Amino acid sequence: MDDHQFADADLAALYDVLHPWDPRGDFGFYLPLVMAAESVLDVGCGTGALLHRARAEGHTGRLCGLDPAAGMLQQARTRTDIEWVQGELSSVDWADEFDLVVMSGHAFQVFATDDELRSSLAAISAALTEDGCFAFETRNPAARAWQRWTPEHVREVTDQQGAVVRSWHELEEPVTGDVVSFVTTYSSPLWPQPQRSRSTLRFLGAVELAKFLTDAGLRVVEQFGDWDRTPVTQDSLEIITLAKPS
């Protein structure tokens, strides 16, 4: 079992099948921001789908993807006109060089401890240019998404070989505080055995999130509860934030 989801190349190859491009979803929201920025850092870039699309649509500036998972970056590197860096924010030292730092696919929630949040936000703040923007989303804890992460909720997708891959989550209970751990199992008739991957995600509310951002020298300039740019309410699934250096 792997602590970095999708470190394994087979699962990484499946990632884009499980998370197809949705123009009304996160990529549809972030792509115009990427296209409008001269230099872009995608933290937790995964298979690189967002930056791939930006380059394909004519972005001519600097595009850089950072991710610790070798399998994910193997997919990302199918495009060689983008910088790909294997690692985490603690292993890089960018200063005043990106107009946009983006984290999509709820990658922000991997920062589970206060220390990780503080050091990651400090690195993002340092990497941004003076008028740069940090754009990311985190699931609204009020919507309690983890309550649906149970084995009864099975997803089925057809992979590139035509095999039906099933996946489901098992929550580690009890859930206390704002940190949620779960194991995802993937099974395919083409694999000798199912693959399991453990994840830990933090669910920060808007008030706490704003405190961490402020401490890192960032201020919230816009916040939305959904990809259609409606405001955050108690029922919103997402807290989508655009923050700038204060």
Ligand X SMILES: C[S@@+](CC[C@H](N)C(=O)[O-])C[C@H]1O[C@@H](n2cnc3c(N)ncnc32)[C@H](O)[C@@H]1O
- In angstroms, give the least distance from the CB of 189 to ligand X: 25
Select from 43, 82, 124, 240 the one that contacts ligand X (CB under 6 A).
43
Q: Which pair of structure tokens corresponds to residue 178?
A: 């704002």
- In angstroms, give the least distance from the CB of 126 to ligand X: 15
- In angstroms, give the least distance from the CB of 161 to ligand X: 21
Contact yes or no for 120/126 (Cβ under 8 A):
no
Which residues, 79 to 98, sit near ligand X by CB under 6 A?
88
DSSP assigned state of 231: P
Q: Considering the complex, state which of residue 87 and residue 189 has its C-beta at the smaller distance from ligand X.
A: 87
> Can residue 65 be called a binding residue for ligand X (CB under 6 A)?
no
- In angstroms, give the least distance from the CB of 139 to ligand X: 11
What does the alpha-carbon distance between residue 156 and residue 178 come to, in Å, rounded to a whole number?
A: 29
Residue with token string 């949620």 = 180
- In angstroms, give the least distance from the CB of 131 to ligand X: 24
Contact yes or no for 212/198 (Cβ under 8 A):
no
Q: Which stretch binds ligand X (CB under 6 A): 40-48, 124-132, 133-141, 165-173?
A: 40-48
Nearest to 188 by CA among 213, 219, 163, 216: 163
Which residues, 103 to 132, sit near ligand X by CB under 6 A?
104-107, 110
Select from 14, 40, 45, 232 the one that contacts ligand X (CB under 6 A).
45
Q: Considering the complex, state which of residue 4 and residue 62 has its C-beta at the smaller distance from ligand X.
A: 4
What does the alpha-carbon distance between residue 37 and residue 242 come to, in Å, rounded to a whole number?
A: 14
Q: Which pair of structure tokens corresponds to residue 157?
A: 């997708």
DSSP assigned state of 230: P
Select from 34, 40, 46, 59 the one that contacts ligand X (CB under 6 A).
46
> Can residue 53 be called a binding residue for ligand X (CB under 6 A)?
no
Q: Which residues are paired to 187 by β-bridges?
A: 166
Q: Considering the complex, state which of residue 56 and residue 207 has its C-beta at the smaller distance from ligand X.
A: 56
- In sequence order, what are the residues at sequence separation of 6 or more whose Cβ sits closer than 8 angstroms to the Cβ of residue 222? 241, 242
> Can residue 72 be called a binding residue for ligand X (CB under 6 A)?
yes
Q: Considering the complex, state which of residue 104 and residue 125 has its C-beta at the smaller distance from ligand X.
A: 104
What does the alpha-carbon distance between residue 202 and residue 180 come to, in Å, rounded to a whole number?
A: 6
> Can residue 165 be called a binding residue for ligand X (CB under 6 A)?
no
**3-state class of 185 per DSSP?**
strand
> Can residue 6 be called a binding residue for ligand X (CB under 6 A)?
yes
Q: Is the peptide bond before 174 cis (omega within 30 degrees of 0)?
A: yes
Determine the size of the site formed for ligand X (CB under 6 A).
19
Residues at the interface with ligand X (CB under 6 A) = 4-6, 19, 43-46, 49, 67-69, 72, 88, 104-107, 110
